Amino acid sequence: MSASLTARTEEKYSFRMAKGTQRSLPVAAAGLSFADNDYLGLSRHPCVMEAAIRSIREAGTGARAARHLAGPCPEHSRLEQSLASWKRTEGALVFASGYQTPLGVIPSLIGPGDTVLLEKNAHACLFDGARLSGARLRLFKRNDPESLAEGLTFSQKISPGAKILIVAETLHSMDGDFLDLTTLVSLKNSFGAWLLLDEAHANGIIGPAGAGWAAEQNLEESVDIQMGTLGKALGSSGGFVAARASVIDHLLNEARTFLFGTAPAPAAMAAAGEALAILRQGEGQRLRETLQNNIRLFSRNTTATTHGPIQPLILKTNKVVLAARDFLRSLGIDVAAIRPPTVPTGTARLRISLSARHSSGDMRRLTEALARLPVT
């Protein structure tokens, strides 16, 4: 290895250590996890696991190739039909991962001369997709109509006639708050912009049949593209978009992460399809009610101010949040310590992720441990 490359990586390591941002992969689970996004516990549902096992027996473990090369796969097609029905759109398209989805979708819709209006603290995959497009990137503050209106006005003025794509998360992945979608849609319509709505964390947990925040607000028709993941409430892996048939056909032909990326494994699609079927039935409603009960339990016993499964506890400094995480691990509880650059400097936090699989005893154990944190 080149000496200069070694020196460079060691320099970066020293910088991260000094800042408290050095990361490493955990080697053992703490026991009780409040760190993942399996909001309804469907990844371990017997029917979901059995669907994946059946698919492996029939189709094997691999994904073979990109879908244009590998030929038809019933699991992909069935899931896309179900997703479109669930989202009340004409079509849907699955991608190998949630992260790869906007990396293919955004650059296929807009390019140089156009503008992406993106929430200031949006997920990294949305930033990366916007940058890959070559379009002008302008940020707006979440749930701040004045900031969004200013961005729309500026974008329309600087490039009259150019396309404007607004990109926003319905349930924020780190702050845990819900989007003021009604106001955003009103502004989007006033300026003739397009809207890509990331429902990754809202899908499954809210709305009729768990169809997400746009469905809860009865605004699906006002959203141009709904984006989601199969790796959270749906208990599997992969990403997807749902939209009009003409948009799906366009993405099938133009989204590079779909065209050139290996398809998701059939077993993952079968698992997601079974999870989606559960979501849309009575059991899914019961799981959502259990999750909501856990959210209420948490709120009653803490100072929580958000109303979803993502509960941030802001501890400000990297040193303090790491000490808090390690204290909880010593009690057998796993909670993620989130530090910059994932969140803004000065907002390091514990990200507590609640699930329907957590019992009342689990919830009590968590809140009692949080009350004992030596750093709060």
Residue 244 has what DSSP assignment? -
List, as one string, the DSSP characters of 248-273.
HHHHHHH-HHHHSSPPPPHHHHHHHH
Cα angle 185, 110, 192; round to 5:
30
Measured over the CA atoms of residue 269, residue 275, residue 278 and residue 280, the dihedral's sign is negative
- Tell me the C-alpha distance between 25 and 292, whole Å: 31
* Residue 25 CA from chain centroid, whole number: 21
The amino acid at 373 = L
What is the C-alpha to C-alpha distance for residues 160 and 158, in angstroms, rounded to an integer?
6
Q: Which amino acid is at 205?
A: I
Question: Which tokens sit at 266?
Answer: 């059939």
Contacts of 308 (CB under 8 A, 6+ apart): 171, 176, 177, 178, 201, 202, 205, 206, 295
Active site amino acids:
37, 123, 169, 173, 198, 201, 232
Residue partners of 310: CB distance under 8 A and separation at least 6: 171, 172, 173, 174, 175, 176, 201, 351, 352, 353, 354
Tell me the three state secondary structure of residue 4: helix
Partners of 198 in the β-ladder: 169, 227
H-only helix segments in the chain: 3-19, 46-59, 67-70, 74-87, 100-109, 124-133, 145-158, 181-191, 213-216, 245-254, 256-259, 266-279, 282-301, 318-330, 360-371
Query: What is the rounded CA–CA span in Å between residue 291 and residue 261?
Result: 35
